[in-house]
Amino acid sequence: MQTEAEIPMPSPANIENSYEDMNFPIALRKGVQMAMEVTQILLNAQAVDGTVRKQAEENLRQFQEQNLPSFLFSLAGELANDEKPAESRKLAGLILKNALDAKEQHRKIEFVQRWLSLEPTVKAQIKAFLLRTLSSPSLDARSTASQVIAKVAGIELPHKQWPELVGSLLSNIHQLPAPTRQATLETLGYICEEVSPDVVDQDHVNKILTAVVQGMSSSESNNEVKLAAVRALYNALGFAQANFSNDMERDFIMRVVFETTLSLDMKIRRAAFECLVAIASTYYEKLAPYIQDIFNITAKAVKEDEEPVALQAIEFWSSICDEEIDILEEYSGDSNIPCFYFIKQALPVLVPMLLETLLKQEEDQDQDEGAWNIAMSGGTCLGLVARTVGDDIVPLVMPFIEENITKPDWRQREAATYSFGSILEGPSPEKLVPLVNVALNFMLTALLKDPSNHVKDTTAWTLGRMFEFLHGSALETPIITQANCQQIITVLLQSMKDVPNVAEKACGALYFLAQGYEDAGSSNSPLTPFFQDIVQSLLTVTHRDDAVESRLRTAAYEALNEVVRCSTDETAPMVVQLVPLIMMELHQTLENQNISTDERQNELQGLLCGCLQYADQMMTLFIRVFASRSATAQEEAMLAIGALAYATGSDFAKYMPEFYKYLEMGLQNFEDYQVCAITVGVVGDVCRALEEKMLPYCDRIMTQLLKDLSSNQLHRSVKPPIFSCFGDIALAIGENFEKYLLYSMPMLQSAAELSAHTIGADDDMADYTNSLRNGILEAYSGIFQGFKGSPKTQLLMPYAPHVLQFLDSLYVEKDMDDVLTKTAIGVLGDLADTLGSNAGPLIQQSASSKDFLKECLSSDDHLIKESAEWAKRRNRVDANIPRIERFVEFPVTKSTAFIASPFLSPRVGARIFSHFKPCEKCHCFNMLEWQLRQVFGVQIDSRSKSPDVLKNKVEKVGTKLRGWKAKLLSQSAINSVLQSTLIYQLSVLPMPEKYYTQLDSLAANFYWGFKNNKPGMHLLSKARIFRRKDCGGLGLRQSSLFNKALIAK
Same domain membership, residue 76 and residue 141: yes
Same domain membership, residue 144 and residue 17: yes
CA 627 to chain centre: 28
Same domain membership, residue 799 and residue 697: no
The full DSSP string for 924-973 is HHHHHHHHHHHHHSS-SS-PPPPHHHHHHHHHHHHHHHHHHTTS---HHH
Q: How many Å apart are CA 1049 and CA 1045, to the nearest integer?
A: 6
| Closest listed residue to residue 718, CA positions, set 665, 765, 641, 775 | 775
Task: Give the end of a domain, one of 427, 455, 484.
Answer: 427
Same domain membership, residue 884 and residue 864: no
Same domain membership, residue 435 and residue 378: no
Provide the H-helix boundaries in 877-922.
877-885, 892-900, 908-915
Q: For residue 55, what pLDDT is reported?
A: 93
The full DSSP string for 718-772 is GHHHHHHHHHHHHHHHGGGGGGGHHHHHHHHHHHHHHHGGGTT--HHHHHHHHHH
Same domain membership, residue 370 and residue 483: no
Same domain membership, residue 885 and residue 808: no
> Running DSSP on this structure, what letter comes out for residue 1014?
P
- Asked whether residue 742 is assigned to any structural domain, the reply reads yes
> Running DSSP on this structure, what letter comes out for residue 629?
-
- Asked whether residue 653 is assigned to any structural domain, the reply reads yes
Q: How far separated are the first and last CA of the chain, in Å rounded?
A: 82
- Asked whether residue 208 is assigned to any structural domain, the reply reads no
Mean of the per-residue pLDDT values of the chain: 79
- For residues 942 and 989, the answer to whether their CB atoms sit within 8 Å is yes
Q: How many Å apart are CA 470 and CA 468, to the nearest integer?
A: 6
Q: How many Å apart are CA 821 and CA 817, to the nearest integer?
A: 6
- For residues 505 and 464, the answer to whether their CB atoms sit within 8 Å is yes
Same domain membership, residue 154 and residue 50: yes
Same domain membership, residue 1020 and residue 1044: yes
Q: For residue 254, what pLDDT is reported?
A: 96
Q: For residue 611, what pLDDT is reported?
A: 42
Q: For residue 10, what pLDDT is reported?
A: 53
CA angle at 545 for the pair 544 and 551, rounded to the nearest 5°: 70
Task: Give the end of a domain, one of 917, 941, 965.
Answer: 941
Task: Give the end of a domain, one of 916, 941, 966.
Answer: 941
- For residues 552 and 546, the answer to whether their CB atoms sit within 8 Å is yes
Q: What is the mean pLDDT of each run of 10 residues along the chain (1049 residues)?
A: 43 52 50 67 91 92 90 93 93 94 84 93 93 94 95 93 91 86 94 89 91 90 94 93 94 95 95 95 94 95 94 95 87 69 95 95 67 89 95 97 95 96 94 94 95 95 94 82 92 95 94 85 76 91 79 87 80 68 64 49 49 52 70 75 72 87 89 87 89 93 92 87 93 93 91 73 74 91 90 90 88 78 85 81 73 81 79 60 36 33 32 38 42 38 44 58 43 48 53 65 61 41 55 61 57
Same domain membership, residue 646 and residue 602: yes
CATH for 130: 1.25.10.10
- Asked whether residue 218 is assigned to any structural domain, the reply reads no
| Share in percent of the chain as helix, strand, coil (round to 5) | 75, 0, 25
Q: How many Å apart are CA 302 and CA 255, to the nearest integer?
A: 20
pTM value is: 0.66
- Asked whether residue 769 is assigned to any structural domain, the reply reads yes
Q: How many helices (H) and strands (E) does the chain have?
A: 53, 0
> Running DSSP on this structure, what letter comes out for residue 196?
-
- Asked whether residue 294 is assigned to any structural domain, the reply reads no
- For residues 76 and 123, the answer to whether their CB atoms sit within 8 Å is no
Q: For residue 551, what pLDDT is reported?
A: 82
Q: For residue 76, what pLDDT is reported?
A: 94
User: What φ, ψ does residue 891 adopt, rounded to 5°?
Assistant: -60, 155
- Asked whether residue 348 is assigned to any structural domain, the reply reads yes
Q: For residue 971, what pLDDT is reported?
A: 44
Q: How many Å apart are CA 73 and CA 95, to the nearest integer?
A: 12
- Asked whether residue 239 is assigned to any structural domain, the reply reads no
- For residues 1026 and 1033, the answer to whether their CB atoms sit within 8 Å is yes
Number of structural domains the chain divides into: 7
- Determine the 3-state secondary structure of 786 from DSSP: helix
Q: Which residues of 258-296 are buried (b: 16+ CB within 10 A; e: fewer)?
A: bebbebeeebbbbbbbbbbbbbbebbbeebeebeeebbe
Same domain membership, residue 871 and residue 724: yes
- For residues 1017 and 558, the answer to whether their CB atoms sit within 8 Å is yes
- Amino acid in the structure at residue 97: K
- For residues 773 and 820, the answer to whether their CB atoms sit within 8 Å is yes
Contacts of 866 (CB under 8 A, 6+ apart): 980, 982, 983, 984
Q: For residue 321, what pLDDT is reported?
A: 94
Same domain membership, residue 118 and residue 60: yes
* Structural domain boundaries, residue 910: 877-941
